[in-house]
Amino acid sequence: MSKIKKRVLSGIQPSGNLHLGNYFGMMSKMINYQERNDLFCFIADYHALTSNPSPKILSLNTFNAVCDFLALGLNPDKTTFWVQSDVPEVTELSWILSSQTSVGLMDRSTTYKDKIAKGLKSNMGLYSYPILMAADILLFKSNLVPVGKDQKQHIEMARDIANRFNARYGDVFILPDPDIVKETQIIPGVDGQKMSKSYNNTIPIFGNDKEIRKKIMGIITDNASINEPKNKETPLFHLYCLFADKSEQQILSEKYDAPGLRYGDIKLELFEKIMDYFAPYRKERAILQSKPDYIKDILMLGAKKAKTVALEVLDKVRSTVGISFNL
């Protein structure tokens, strides 16, 4: 008897060029879900509006994000993959849920407070972000939502909203569970901080050779002389190990302990490893970028599959709250 697959939902904002931190921190893990679960994955362009990007940039970033996922192995035959705005039913559900959500719950959102503290301009979209996220989750009958520890509160809020709705109207929504992604390591940026676009310290995956090489050659190192052992708790060592097997990691460790190592040589080796690792993905992405009609077809089919589930849930919600006009 085959095991029933759990539905996993994940949404990614189109925020620009994909980098190593995105890939090793989230994307590679998420793509693996498609092999053992019913993966629903979408590009969250509605959510991206909270930062008020220019229309041209948002459109380009959305297209690039789709190409990134497909090039890195997301299989539309195994996954329901769409752009959030192609299933606008989520905004209707978000409005219905907002009528059932207390202001107090929204005020407890730590993500909103953190973003405001970091200088992001306040707006109602950003404030009510957890409600739209809850609609994303509940509209597609999600069982699991993979998140980092810092995003666990979003799932708890979605459960609170669903519980409040179910308590008033009956069992309409499936209560989602967080699938906490335990990050065993933080991917360091070229400056040693966590790799993030916010810190301008990223190494792009799909940049040109010159751009990637320049980033790698700019990785910070210490001032140890060539005859001194080198510090392994540095971004260069950790980034190299991402692309090295255990034997290669051991060799690198021994080089760091012995005199004679030149950081520039290790950086050049890292550049070659990164280029070799992502070469087939870069080739596939170039092909995808040249086929916008093919991309549109994939997204249209994905949206159609997602909409089928969305309408089933939304029709039930409409009837439940009394706006279906059934006399």
CA distances from residue 219 to 196, 215, 229, 234 in whole angstroms, order as listed:
14, 7, 18, 9
What CA–CA distance (Å, rounded) separates 146 from 180? 6
Our CA dihedral for 310, 315, 321, 325, rounded to 10 degrees, sits at 150
Beta strands in the chain (DSSP E): 7-12, 38-43, 80-83, 144-147, 177-180
Q: What is the DSSP string of 109-178?
A: -HHHHHHHHTTPPP-HHHHTHHHHHHHHHHHTT-SEEEE-GGGHHHHHHHHHHHHHHHHHH-S-SPPPEE
Which residues are catalytic, by number?
115, 194, 197
CA angle 232, 234, 240 (to 5 degrees): 80
In this prediction, residue 184 carries a pLDDT of 46
254 neighbors 261 (Cβ within 8 angstroms): no
Full pLDDT tens readout for the chain, 327 residues:
456 789 999 988 898 888 998 888 778 888 889 999 999 999 999 999 988 789 999 999 999 999 999 999 999 999 999 999 999 999 999 999 999 998 888 888 877 777 777 777 788 888 888 999 999 999 999 999 988 776 788 899 999 999 999 999 999 999 999 887 665 457 899 999 888 887 889 999 999 999 999 999 999 999 888 889 899 999 999 999 999 999 999 999 999 999 999 999 999 999 999 999 999 999 999 999 999 999 999 999 999 999 999 999 999 999 999 997 655
Token pair 């569970």 is found at 177
What CA–CA distance (Å, rounded) separates 116 from 110? 10
Output the pTM of the full model.
Answer: 0.86
Mind listing the domains of the chain with CATH numbers? 7-186+292-321 (3.40.50.620), 207-286 (1.10.240.10)
